[in-house]
Amino acid sequence: MELMELTATELVERFHLAGCVWIDPPLRREELEYLTAFTESRRWRRPGGPYAVPDNPLAECLDPALDLALYTTPPAGQPSVYCPWTPARAGHALALRQDVAGGHGVPPHEVAAWLAYLRDHFLRPGALAAQSNEPAFAGFGFDHVLQGAAAVCSEWTGLVTVLQVEANDITVLTFGRHAPTGRA
C-alpha cells in the first residue's frame, strides 16, 4: 500500500456534530440570554473571570490592549476556548454547533466536557455559579434536568462517539475501529 501525501488543510482533523439535549424545565429568559452570550463568545482568561461575557464578542479581538497569550488560553476548568453547545428551541434544548473551531467541529472529549461544564456550572441543582453571587445569575433557577443524545464523527478515523444523557448523567460511547494514520 502507498502512503498518501496530505496537504496542510487535510491535516486538520474534522468532526461532524449532531444532536441536542433537552432541558426540563426550559431555560428562563435570563438563563437563555446569558448562556447564548456565554456559548457564542470565545472562552479565554478574561480579567473578569471564567463567567465573564463580553458586550460584543466579535469585536473584542480588535482591542489593542488584548493580551494574546491569555486570549488563546481557556480559563481554568473550561475545556477549550470554543464551546460547541448553544441554547436552542427557545430554551428547551442545548444543540451542537458545527461552526466552532473554524468550522472543523470539536473532538468528542471536548463535546462531553463542555456539556458537563454547562450542567455543573449553570443548570443542575447545586450548580457552581449559584455560589458565585454574580448579578448575572440572579434570574437563574439552577433546577434543570438534561435528557437527550448527541453524536460526534471523526472524518479521519470514522469513529462515532455518542453522548447519551439521562437525568443529568452523561454516558460516552464510542463505536467503530480506529483507522491507521496514513493508509488509503
pLDDT in tens, 26-37: 999 999 999 999
Say what the pLDDT of residue 85 is: 95
Please name every residue paired with 21 in a beta bridge, in sequence order, or none if there are none.
Answer: 94, 148
Take residue 101 and report the three cell numbers written for it.
473551531
Closest CA to 146 of 129, 124, 163, 161: 124
The CA angle 93-71-39, to the nearest 5 degrees, is 5
- 15 near 153, Cβ under 8 Å? yes
Name the residue ranges covered by the structural domains of the chain: 1-45+82-184
pLDDT tens figures, 139-163: 999 999 999 999 999 888 889 999 9
Q: Residue 4 to residues 8, 9, 179, 181: CA-CA distances in angstroms?
A: 13, 14, 14, 10
| CA–CA distance, 88 with 98 (Å, rounded to integer) | 14
pLDDT tens figures, 91-149: 999 999 877 665 566 788 999 999 999 999 999 999 999 999 899 999 999 999 999 99
Q: Residue 47 to residues 7, 29, 50, 94: CA-CA distances in angstroms?
A: 38, 26, 9, 27
Closest CA to 144 of 128, 157, 125, 164: 125
Say what the pLDDT of residue 11 is: 60
